[in-house]
Amino acid sequence: MFSNETAPNETALTEPALTEPAPTETARHGRVLVGFDGSEPALHALDRAVDDAVRRGEAELEILCGRPWGRNPVPGAAYTAARAALDRAVARVTARAPGLSVTPTLTAEPAAPALVRAGRAAALTVTGTRGRGGFAGLLLGSVAQRVAAHSRGPLLVVRDVPRRERGVVLVGLRSDADMEALRFGFEEAARRTADLWVVHARQHPDSPWDDVRLPTEPAEAVPERAAAALRAVYPDVEVGTAAVRPEAGTALTEASRQADVVVLAAHRRQCPFGLQLGPVTHALLRHAHCPVALVPVP
């Protein structure tokens, strides 16, 4: 446990590429990672990460602060302020969940690559929509965008304002390629003792992002068949299914009003400017009314 007398972890000044290969073995049990910079959105993300760690039972929480002094080679006052902010963050966690194990980490890496690297072995990485210095009018900051595009493990992007719990987990399902996201949704619903809504949503068939082989069966049958494969594994989860027509992003955004979290498979495409997410995912990250969980597609 970190206190005023114990320094946080401090990593070497390195900046590994966001696209470095993942390790051959990844242990995703027992650790929730949250990006933190002391801003108001980061506090909301921190609180959500604490709650998620508690729901996971024996999980630990790591609070990661990425190079708060920006491009200045001399940390100076920014370093001291970051250390103090991590102190306050740990105190906040202790007050919210006294028994939770907390590891604060102050790294010399920029926040985005640090979260991508550390998140490869985490059960869940959590980030806010906007960090310190983000423009109020932007619903998704640059760090959240970069982590969403490159994260190798499950990522939760938290909205700025907490909401009353609805008792619903929403999964947007496009095809059989999204089964890992559906499994994550079942697990999340079981942890929350919540209902699960599985919504089959397809983009327009002419969309350049839809290179995944789509089901040929009737749309309404797709989510029911996919959910049936996991109902026996999670018998206590109440499941509802539906199908929506384009625009899928608009339909899922509207459905997110009644959900505690919306879960999507992260289909990434190589573009001239690097890895990019599809239009539905972009729409949800910017406009969803609840936190968005992204589960990478292998």
Query: What are the structure tokens assigned to 80, written together?
Result: 């001291």
Q: Is the pLDDT of residue 213 over 90?
A: no
What DSSP designation does 168 have? E
**What local confidence, expressed as pLDDT, does residue 131 receive?**
52
Kindly state the average pLDDT of the residues 206-218: 55
Residue 232: how many CB atoms within 10 A of its CB?
7
Cα–Cα distance measured from residue 193 to residue 208, given in angstroms and rounded to the nearest whole number: 38
Query: Which domains are present in the chain?
Result: 9-19+28-158 (3.40.50.620), 168-292 (3.40.50.12370)
Listed in sequence order, the residues at least 6 apart from 82 whose beta carbon sits closer than 8 Å to its beta carbon are: 38, 65, 68, 69, 106
> Quick one: what percent of the chain has pLDDT higher than 90?
49
pLDDT level of residue 157 (50, 70, 90 thresholds) = very high
**What local confidence, expressed as pLDDT, does residue 2 receive?**
33
* Percentages of the chain per state (helix, strand, coil), in multiples of 5: 35, 20, 45
> Got the DSSP string for 188-220?
HHHHHT-EEEEEEE---TT-TT--S----S-TT
Structure-derived torsion over alpha carbons of residues 193, 194, 195, 199, reported in degrees to the nearest 10: -130
| 18-27, 159-168, 208-217: least confidently modelled range | 18-27
Q: Is the pLDDT of residue 118 over 90?
A: yes
Residue of 1 and 139 predicted with greater confidence: 139
**Strand 168-173 to strand 155-158: parallel, antiparallel, or no bridges (unpaired)?**
unpaired
**What local confidence, expressed as pLDDT, does residue 158 receive?**
93
- Torsions phi, psi of 222, nearest 5? -65, -55
Cα–Cα distance measured from residue 103 to residue 10, given in angstroms and rounded to the nearest whole number: 11
For 228-266, write each residue's pLDDT tens digit.
989 999 999 999 999 987 688 899 999 999 999 999 998
**What local confidence, expressed as pLDDT, does residue 247 receive?**
80
Residue of 294 and 270 predicted with greater confidence: 294
**What local confidence, expressed as pLDDT, does residue 139 receive?**
46
Task: Give the H/E segment covering residue 49.
Answer: helix 40-55
**What local confidence, expressed as pLDDT, does residue 138 receive?**
39
Kindly state the average pLDDT of the residues 11-30: 40
- Torsions phi, psi of 50, nearest 5? -60, -50
Integer angstrom CA distances of residue 256 from 184, 198, 249, 262: 17, 12, 10, 6
Listed in sequence order, the residues at least 6 apart from 93 whose beta carbon sits closer than 8 Å to its beta carbon are: 46, 50, 61, 63, 100, 102
Q: Is the pLDDT of residue 173 over 90?
A: yes
Listed in sequence order, the residues at least 6 apart from 220 whose beta carbon sits closer than 8 Å to its beta carbon are: 200, 241, 242, 243
- Residue 108 CB burial class (10 angstroms; 0-12, 13-18, ≥19): middle
Task: Give the H/E segment covering residue 144.
Answer: helix 142-150
How high is the mean pLDDT of the chain? 81
- Report, in angstroms and rounded to the nearest whole number, the Rg of the chain calculated over CA atoms: 19
Beta bridge partners of 296: 266
The residue among 165, 125, 139, 105 whose CA lies nearest residue 26 is 125
Residue of 74 and 19 predicted with greater confidence: 74
pLDDT level of residue 9 (50, 70, 90 thresholds) = low
Cα–Cα distance measured from residue 93 to residue 85, given in angstroms and rounded to the nearest whole number: 12
For 52-97, write each residue's pLDDT tens digit.
999 998 789 999 998 876 666 666 788 888 899 999 999 999 999 9
